[in-house]
Amino acid sequence: MEDARRHYLDLIRHDGVRLSPALARAFAAVAREVFVPDGFHRRDGSRVLPADPEFLRSVYSNDVLVTKLNGRQPISSSSQPSLMAIMLEALDVRPGQRVLEIGAGTGYNAALLATLGADVTTVDVQGDVADRARAALARAGITGVRVEAADGYTGGPDGEYDRIIVTVGVAGISPFWTERLLPGGRIVAPVEHAGMHPVLAAGVSGEASVVCPAGFMSAAGPLAARHEGSHPQPPAGPLTGLEEVSRPRWGVSLEALAYRDLWFAAGAWHRRVTYASVPGREQSLLAVLGDGDRHAAVVLPDGGVLASSDRCAAVALALADRWWSLGRPPMSAWRATLAQAGPLLVPRDWRIGP
């Protein structure tokens, strides 16, 4: 088991993910298998049970463990550990701080927070999920965590917090969270942007910055509220009728992270950006949808553009060229101000720089 945990830390650190000594000790100390006692589903939908020979190896992989489905749709999980590590480092938890977690999931993330010395309250809108998280924390011998079945939008039981972390994709920041945040506090949350859920960090000042790219299961209710600045939902099926309007222009094909940087920038500059699938291509692509979603254009990782209308093609080309001409700014360079939009605070006026 010690070898498995050691390998687990190596997997989390892969691709440059930073683990502070305290967070490394927390990942090494908390038994992840205790939080999936009934097994889980992999990304491909296959089921892994505790009796299976590959159970522990799969548990200590750097991958999401899906623990509840609605039909074929995942609705609860233990997140990818490297993403958890990035978010926890961004949260910058100190011993003795009070932390509110929105989305209890399996309870594993709350266990890591408690092991870091935090006093944790975790809430989940699904009562059965909260019950299982509470039982798992007890089995793991984790103290200092309060689990509540409550609406994440309101933040559950009364209280003020030094840190708030959100582990479900949301359309914006709940004003109830900012009201509960103590001076100098921080919120880390995955907020919808162009079909993704990049993780944002925000403080009491209302200024937000980008931590990293991510994809999360989406919340329901007010936390999923559409607003005038919302990007379109990804098309339900593959885009068809696309023709090549621009051949590869950059001399290189962007790697996955750089392509997400382009994607984010395009979404910051234009509200009709999302993602879509295209026949014959495995990965989802940055898409610009026309009004009414009848026409579209996609930007390929090599700078080529496919489109079904001249207007969408012109927008896609302009967005790609703008990003390239600015020196390919990374997602982490972007800043925004949170502003009220319906029931949520959403990023406005995206800009590059401090």
Block means of pLDDT (10 residues each) for the chain, length 354 residues?
Answer: 80 90 96 97 93 95 92 88 97 98 97 98 96 98 97 94 97 97 97 96 96 92 94 93 94 94 98 95 93 89 96 97 97 97 96 88
Helical spans, DSSP H, in the chain: 2-13, 21-29, 55-59, 81-91, 108-115, 127-139, 175-180, 256-269, 310-325
Distance of CA 191 to the CA centre of its chain: 7
pLDDT digits (tens, 9 = 90+) for 154-189: 999 999 999 999 999 999 999 999 999 999 999 999
Which of these is catalytic: 58, 79, 246, 277? 79
Which pLDDT belongs to residue 2?
63
Domains and CATH numbers, the chain: 2-167 (3.40.50.150), 243-325 (3.30.310)
* Alpha carbon distance 343, 96 (integer Å): 31
Report the pLDDT value the prediction gives residue 70, as an integer from 0 to 100: 83
Tokens 């699938």 appear where? 277
What Cα–Cα distance (Å) separates residue 92 from each residue in 73, 85, 163?
32, 11, 8
pLDDT, tens digit, for every residue of 186-202?
Answer: 999 999 999 999 999 99
Share of the chain above pLDDT 70, in %: 99
Token reading at 210: 């980008």
Strand partners, 73: 70
Q: In what order do the strands lie in the sheet with 273-276?
A: 243-246, 305-307, 296-299, 285-289, 273-276
What confidence score (pLDDT) does residue 294 get? 82
Residues 6 or more apart whose Cβ sits within 8 Å of residue 205: none
CA distance 303 to 118: 46
Q: What local confidence, expressed as pLDDT, does residue 133 receive?
A: 98
How far is CA 7 from each of CA 3, 4, 15, 18, rounded to the nearest angstrom?
6, 5, 14, 15
Is 79 noted as a catalytic residue in this protein? yes
Q: Do residues 221 and 153 lie in contact, with contact meaning Cβ atoms separated by under 8 Å?
A: yes
| 209-213-218 Cα angle (round to 5) | 100
Answering whether pTM is above 0.85, one says yes
